[in-house]
A and B are shown apart, each in its own frame.
Chain A
Amino acid sequence: MIKKMLFAAVAGLTLVACAAPATPAQNSAGQSDISIRDAWAHPTMGMVAAHEGHAHGSHGSSDKADAAQSSVNSAAYMVIENKGNAPDKLLSVSGDIADMIQVHQTREKDGMMVMEEIADGLEIPANGNVELRPASYHIMLMGVKRDLKPGDTFKLTLNFQSGKVIPVDVTVREP
């Protein structure tokens, strides 16, 4: 009996949910609606030019020629909002600002901070948002190609599982 009542309650819910246009937005059921705000990134503080100068300088000289070179990196942060009624996933990010761009997560491991690529995509829940912020999710920019000074902007393109491709203007600023 209780089962029957529950079933009926669920049926009632479903009925109402289907009958009423619950979301005023015109997206049909099962669509994400992604928007991005507050995109910013760390400056690289004169490191890029220095790095390139160093690389050129070391050409030809065999001493320490194969010494490990640190690339100049930065990270971009933003709020990814999904006003749609279906979840979506940030699968990848592209842009010409860096040699390699990955979606990363910083987490604690044995009391240490480590970061890892989120290989299977960052889930953006329906009617929710995900904040990319320091010591959490970030878009890792490895091998930044030009120096990023506070006030500079650059473009990134966010590629979602739904097929949505969203361009973002990122502003460089001090954290």
Chain B
Amino acid sequence: MNMRSDGFKVFLGVLGGMVAIVVFGLLLSYAPELARAPVPTPTPGGVAISRYRTISNATLTDHDNRPMSLGALRGKPTLIAFGYTFCPDVCPLTMADLRRVKRELGEAGDRVNFVFITVDPQRDTPEVIRRYVKAFDPAFIGLTGDEATLKKLIYEFDGLFEKQPPQSGNPNSYIVAHTSFIYLLDAQGQWRMKYSFGTPVEVIARDVQAMLQESARRG
């Protein structure tokens, strides 16, 4: 290798670099468009429960501090969401989705139970739950119970929750980790569908609508 060819290669390298920067610059000028293009979010549908499960007839406490068995919900399709009022992020979204499902259903929404079950019985007293669910819709039902009963119940839906150690000095500022789905039960109390967080409300409303027609056909 002599100096000249080395020098030529360096020249080629610099030239290459310049070409690269021009190409890069051109790409960059399109980049804002690319960056702003909405990320195609998956639109998850519901998951059908292959073998319908009859949910146990656990006795819980409703938002008026009265005992209420889950069996009392039978006779209407029922949408259930587990959550807790301290949760500021996912839970209000789920509750707002339930409200939108009800709006979507219109009058038929009155023939459906909308149920919030707390995973935080320690802080979510019936009074707190009542204020919470009624703020979303006056017809919504809120339920609590002792922790063991609630854990068993969410387990029936293949779910779970787990109180986390408090993050700050305040022992009341703990988080409760929990699975976050909306469940659809039929009028016989059988668990039929499961919807992950973010499922479009139209999808849920359509399934509920179909279920209402199904029970109408049964008479």
Contacts and interface: CB of A to CB of B under 8 A. Distances in A.
A174 B89 contact: no
Interface in A1-27: 1, 4-13, 15-17, 22
B13 A8 contact: yes
A74 B88 contact: yes
Nearest to A114: B177
B86 A71 contact: yes
Contacts of B86: 70-71, 73
Contacts of A113: 90, 177-180, 197
A111 B82 CA distance: 14
Interface stretch (A43-51, A86-94, A163-171): A43-51
A12 B89 contact: no
A114 B6 CA distance: 59
Contacts of B87: 73, 115
Q: Which of A6, A10, A113, A116 has the most CB of B within 10 A?
A: A113
B127 to A, nearest CB: 7
B70 interface: no
A117 interface: yes
B147 to A, nearest CB: 12
B160 A141 contact: no
A128 B13 contact: no
Contacts of B96: 174-175
Nearest to B121: A68
Interface in B159-201: 160-162, 164, 167-168, 171-173, 175, 177-180, 197-198
B85 interface: yes
Question: Main SS of chain A's interface residues?
Answer: mixed
B89 A69 contact: no
Interface residues of B, number: 53
Nearest to B17: A12
Nearest to B20: A13
Contact of B92 (A8, A42, A51, A100): A42
Given A9-B14, A11-B14, A115 B6 contact: no
A135 interface: yes
B18 A71 contact: no
B18 A47 contact: no
B5 to A, nearest CB: 9
Interface of A: 1, 4-13, 15-17, 22, 42-43, 45-47, 50-51, 54, 67-75, 100, 104, 106, 109-117, 127-129, 134-135, 138, 140-142, 174-175
30 contacts: A1-B1, A4-B13, A5-B13, A5-B16, A8-B14, A9-B17, A10-B17, A12-B13, A12-B17, A13-B20, A15-B14, A17-B21, A43-B135, A47-B128, A50-B127, A51-B128, A69-B172, A70-B86, A73-B87, A106-B90, A109-B177, A112-B162, A112-B177, A112-B179, A112-B180, A115-B175, A117-B167, A134-B93, A142-B173, A174-B96
